[in-house]
């Protein structure tokens, strides 16, 4: 295992850079926080796991060369990015509709955890900019004397693990504020705000540049 890690000076630089990137809010963090605020800490933590698995898939894709395809084929990049954006907008619209049909006396409804996991996984996996980000970020810390693909897989997994820890902190903090949205009026407002965030994030994904975001 240690043979797949760069020398300590380079590895320490990787850890510091990864931590700085992990704590910086991005689309993944926004998804986790929104889930935690609207549906509680449990859903937020499940969304952390789902986003982590999606990001791990992107890291592995970068390691086996999928990022190279995105780099040379703007069409492939656009297709995957558009699919992810459409899915985000779909989630936002569904959240809007949920807020409009909820009766004033209804109790808060928590989405099934399996559904929350699936949605978060798809949102993270259908972000080709994350794959390109890993392809640009990880090679800076590779040791030329070790197998490049295995090395990048290990570093990518470490980055995803660090991001999952910081995302969990965001989920727990947002979950503490979730009870304020348990009132019927506040909950409907929270669903509408969350839906607006998802729709906005989907639109942002379409119009944003090629710089990778987590």
Domain presence at residue 214: no
**pLDDT confidence of residue 180:** 67
Based on its alpha-carbon atoms, the radius of gyration of the chain, rounded to whole angstroms, reads 18
Question: The whole model's pTM is what?
Answer: 0.75
Max CA distance (Å), the chain = 65
> DSSP letters of 68-125?
HHHHH-HHHHHHHHHHHHHHHHHHHHHHHHHHHH--TTPPP-PPPHHHHHHHHHHHHH
Domain presence at residue 167: yes
Beta-strand ranges (E) seen in 80-123 are: none
CB proximity list for 184: less than 8 A, separation 6 or greater: 102, 104, 105, 106
Domain presence at residue 166: yes
Number of structural domains in the chain? 1
Domain, as residue range, for 193: 28-207
**pLDDT confidence of residue 183:** 55
Domain presence at residue 66: yes
Domain presence at residue 194: yes
Structure tokens at 198: 């998802």
Task: For residue 146, count other CB atoms closer than 10 A to its CB.
Answer: 16
Domain presence at residue 164: yes
Domain presence at residue 39: yes
Walk along the chain (214 residues) and give the pLDDT tens digit of each residue. Answer: 557 788 888 899 899 989 988 887 777 888 898 888 888 899 999 999 999 999 999 999 888 886 677 677 778 777 777 887 788 788 888 877 776 655 444 444 566 889 889 988 998 888 887 888 898 888 888 877 778 788 889 999 999 999 999 999 999 998 888 776 555 565 666 677 777 877 886 787 667 654 445 5
Q: For residue 111, how far is the Cα from the chain centroid?
A: 19
């Amino acid at each position: 295992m240690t043979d797949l890690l760069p020398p300590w000076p380079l590895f320490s630089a990787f850890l510091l850079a990864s931590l700085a990137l992990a704590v910086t809010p991005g689309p993944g963090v926004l998804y986790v926080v929104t889930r935690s605020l609207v549906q509680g800490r449990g859903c937020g933590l499940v969304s952390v796991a789902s986003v982590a698995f999606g990001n791990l898939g992107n890291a592995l894709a970068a390691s086996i060369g999928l990022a190279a395809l995105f780099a040379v084929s703007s069409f492939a990049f656009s297709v995957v990015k558009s699919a992810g954006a459409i899915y985000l907008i779909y989630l936002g619209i569904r959240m809007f509709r949920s807020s409009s049909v909820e009766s004033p006396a209804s109790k808060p409804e928590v989405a099934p955890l399996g559904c929350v996991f699936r949605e978060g996984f798809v949102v993270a996996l259908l972000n080709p900019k994350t794959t390109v980000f890993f392809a640009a970020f990880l090679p800076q810390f590779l040791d030329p004397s070790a197998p490049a693909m295995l090395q990048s897989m290990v570093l990518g997994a470490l980055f995803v693990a660090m991001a999952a820890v910081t995302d969990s902190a965001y989920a727990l903090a947002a979950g503490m504020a979730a009870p304020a949205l348990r009132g019927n009026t506040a909950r409907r407002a929270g669903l509408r705000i969350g839906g607006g965030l998802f729709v906005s994030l989907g639109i942002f994904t379409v119009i944003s540049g090629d710089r990778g975001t987590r």
